[in-house]
C-alpha cells in the first residue's frame, strides 16, 4: 500500500511538472492584425447602402448626396472611423453632383490607382474606407485639384464641436490652425524625411514620389528608373512656428545641391535634387536661395518645378530611420547661408 501510494504521488508530481513545462513553453498568444485594428479603431455600424459605397467601392447617384450643396462651417469626417478628412473652407461647387474639395487635412487621404487602371481612387488613410476619386488640371480653383467625394462616405462636425479621433496625427492636423505644405527631393527620401521631421514647426513628413509620368508608381518601379519620379518628402508645417524659407534653407544645407541625379552613393534620376513649389511665393523663395548659393560659388543643379501629384510611398517605407534606429548615410548638415 505504501509503495502504491508513493507511485501515485510520483505520477501526480511528474504530471504537474509536465503541465508547468508545457505551459511555460507555450508561445504567447498573438492577435491577428485585423483583430488588433478592431480593438484600437472603432468602426461605426454601416447601412447596406453605406457598405455598398464605403466597403465595396460603389458610387452614389449624382446630386443626391446630403453634403453636395452643404455650406456649414466645420470638418468632414470619415463615416466609417471618424477620422478628419476635409475642412469646409476647402469645399467648392464644381457642379459635378458630388461634394468637391481642393485640399485635404494633411495625412488624411490615401491615393491609389483605381481598378479601371486609369482613375485615381481616394480612401481614408486611417481605415481604408472608399471616398471617391481625385482629379487634377481642371482649373476649378487655384490649387487645380478636385477631390470628388461621395456624401454617403462622410459625416460632418460643426465648427466648435470636439472632433473624436483615436489617431494623434489626425487630431494634431485637424486643430483649428493654419498649415502649409512643401515638397523637397534630395536623394534618398528617408534621409530627407529624417532631417525635416525633427525641425521645429513641422507637423508631419511623408515620403513618396513626385515629378514623373507613371500613375501610382511603386518603390521598385521608381528604383528601376523610367518613371521620371524623384524620391520626395511631403512636409506639413505650422507657418506660425516656422516658415517655408527656413525649411528650404535647411533643405539646401542637409543635402548637396551640386550633385546631378545622385546624392552620395545613390545614383539615378530618382535621387535628383528638386524643389516642387505649390505656389508662386514658394517658387520665388526657392529661386532666391538658389541664386544666393550660385553667387557664393555653388554650381547648383536643383530642379525647380511646379508640384504635381504626390504619390505616397508604401506604408512600410515611412519613418525608416525611426524604425531601425540608424542614421542617414548621405545627409548631414553643412552651413551654406
List, in order, residues 6 or more apart from 48 with CB less than 8 Å away: none
From CA 13, how far away is CA 252, in angstroms rounded?
A: 72
Can you say whether residue 209 is alpha, beta or left, with left for phi > 0 and alpha for psi between -120 and 50 degrees? beta
- Catalytic residue (one of 81, 124, 127, 188): 188
From CA 302, how far away is CA 51, in angstroms rounded?
A: 47
Active site residue 148: yes
- Catalytic residue (one of 127, 148, 223, 330): 148
- With CA atoms as reference, report the closest residue to 41 among 5, 74, 3, 83: 83
- With CA atoms as reference, report the closest residue to 282 among 241, 240, 235: 235
> What's the Cα-to-Cα distance from 174 to each of 69, 77, 109, 159, rounded to whole Å?
22, 10, 13, 11
Helix (H, G, I), strand (E, B) or coil at 258: coil
Angle, alpha carbons 198-244-260 (nearest 5°): 80
Can you say whether residue 117 is alpha, beta or left, with left for phi > 0 and alpha for psi between -120 and 50 degrees? left
Task: List residues bridging with 298 in a β-sheet.
Answer: none
Catalytic residue positions, numbered: 148, 188
Amino acid at each position: 500500500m505504501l509503495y502504491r501510494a508513493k507511485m501515485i504521488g510520483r505520477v501526480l508530481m511528474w504530471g504537474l511538472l509536465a503541465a508547468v513545462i508545457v505551459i511555460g513553453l507555450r508561445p504567447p498568444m498573438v492577435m491577428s492584425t485585423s483583430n488588433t485594428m478592431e480593438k484600437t479603431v472603432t468602426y461605426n455600424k454601416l447601412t447596406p447602402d453605406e457598405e455598398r459605397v464605403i466597403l465595396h467601392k460603389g458610387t452614389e447617384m449624382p446630386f443626391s448626396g446630403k453634403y453636395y450643396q452643404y455650406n456649414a462651417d466645420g470638418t468632414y469626417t470619415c463615416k466609417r472611423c471618424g477620422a478628419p478628412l476635409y475642412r469646409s473652407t476647402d469645399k467648392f461647387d464644381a457642379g459635378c453632383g458630388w461634394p468637391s474639395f481642393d485640399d485635404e487635412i494633411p495625412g488624411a487621404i490615401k491615393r491609389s490607382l483605381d481598378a479601371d487602371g486609369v482613375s485615381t481612387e481616394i480612401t481614408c488613410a486611417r481605415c481604408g474606407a472608399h471616398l471617391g476619386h481625385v482629379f487634377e488640371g481642371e482649373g476649378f480653383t487655384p490649387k487645380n485639384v478636385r477631390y470628388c467625394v461621395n456624401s454617403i462616405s462622410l459625416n460632418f462636425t460643426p465648427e466648435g464641436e470636439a472632433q473624436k479621433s483615436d489617431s494623434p496625427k489626425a487630431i494634431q492636423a485637424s486643430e483649428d490652425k493654419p498649415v502649409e505644405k512643401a515638397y523637397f527631393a534630395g536623394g534618398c527620401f528617408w534621409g530627407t524625411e529624417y532631417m525635416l521631421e525633427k525641425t521645429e514647426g513641422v507637423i508631419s513628413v511623408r515620403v513618396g514620389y513626385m515629378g514623373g509620368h507613371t500613375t501610382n508608381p511603386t518603390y521598385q518601379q521608381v528604383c528601376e528608373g523610367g518613371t521620371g519620379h524623384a524620391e520626395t518628402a511631403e512636409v506639413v508645417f505650422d507657418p506660425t512656428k516656422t516658415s517655408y524659407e527656413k525649411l528650404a534653407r535647411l533643405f539646401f544645407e542637409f543635402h548637396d545641391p551640386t550633385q546631378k541625379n545622385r546624392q552620395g552613393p545613390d545614383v539615378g534620376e530618382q535621387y535628383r535634387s528638386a524643389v516642387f513649389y505649390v505656389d508662386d511665393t514658394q517658387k520665388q523663395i526657392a529661386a532666391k536661395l538658389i541664386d544666393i548659393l550660385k553667387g557664393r560659388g555653388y554650381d547648383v543643379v536643383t530642379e525647380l518645378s511646379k508640384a504635381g501629384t504626390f504619390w505616397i510611398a508604401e506604408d512600410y517605407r515611412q519613418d525608416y530611420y525611426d524604425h531601425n534606429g540608424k542614421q542617414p548615410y548621405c545627409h548631414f548638415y553643412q552651413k551654406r547661408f
